[in-house]
Amino acid sequence: MRYEIKGDTLPVVICYLDGGEQMITERGSMSWMSPNMKMETTSNGGIGKALGRMFAGEAIFQNRYTAEGGNGLIAFASSFPGQIIARQISPGNEIIVQKSGFLAAESGVELSVFFQKKLGAGFFGGEGFIMQRLSGQGMAFLEFDGHVVEYELQPGQQIVVDTGYLAAMDASCSLEIKSVPGLKNMVFGGEGLFNTVVTGPGRVWLQTMPVSNVAELILKFMPPKS
């Protein structure tokens, strides 16, 4: 499979498949394709994995596209201004992604729900509580909001992230939700009650414009209901 990512703030990834190659997506992200691409809706792994994807914020069923009778083309567009990132998934190179970050992947990539170890803190941590684990083998395409900044954390090195700005991290990283220190900071700081702390080793991808923040800003300008 070959691919190219086109566009700046509203990107699309165009995948060129050899005959028999397959792609999966979960949210109706297909934008255009050649006529020989066959679509099949599947639970892809049974009801257990389907329910796990539902808890991770994705659809229960996946759409599988197969190039039949020769080479095929299929494109997947981002649903929000931002970036599309391509990552090669393989054993030992798994990645944890925000629940809305998966766009599409080769059929060898598996998606499962990722829970934080400290569930009590997670329930109050907002977007970071439930994420997705991408494992298996193949190329995966991820969509993030706004511009993406990547950091390489050394063993034990940490970065503190405001809720919603964590887009993805290597599975080798650990994640914890911690409360903002000090009652005055919590009440008057305007930064929320909790932060996400990511500890290395591994890469971390941060996004600059979470869609939840944009929605909150737009809501302030909406006229009140009569």
Q: Which residue has the tokens 């397959």?
A: 22
Q: In what order do the strands lie in the sheet with 62-67?
A: 37-42, 62-67, 22-25, 102-106, 138-145, 82-89
- The tens-digit pLDDT sequence of the chain (226 residues) is 999 999 988 999 999 999 999 999 987 789 999 999 999 988 765 555 556 555 545 567 789 999 999 999 999 999 889 999 999 999 999 999 988 899 999 999 998 888 765 544 444 444 446 788 999 999 999 999 999 999 999 999 999 998 789 999 999 999 888 776 655 444 444 455 678 899 999 999 999 998 877 877 788 787 877 6
Q: DSSP secondary-structure letter at 128?
A: G
Total residues belonging to the chain: 226
In the prediction, which pLDDT does 185 show?
A: 47
In the prediction, which pLDDT does 187 show?
A: 46
What predicted TM-score, i.e. pTM, was given to this entire model? Answer: 0.83
Q: DSSP secondary-structure letter at 175?
A: E
Q: How many helices (H) and strands (E) does the chain have?
A: 4, 19
Task: Give 222's contacts (C-beta < 8 A, 6+ positions apart).
Answer: none
In the prediction, which pLDDT does 73 show?
A: 97
DSSP string, 184-206: HHHHHSSS-SEEEEEESSEEEEE
DSSP run (H or E) holding 49: helix 47-55
Is 122 within 8 Å of 175 (Cβ atoms)? no
How many other C-beta atoms are found inside a 10 Å radius of the C-beta of residue 80? 15
In the prediction, which pLDDT does 11 show?
A: 95
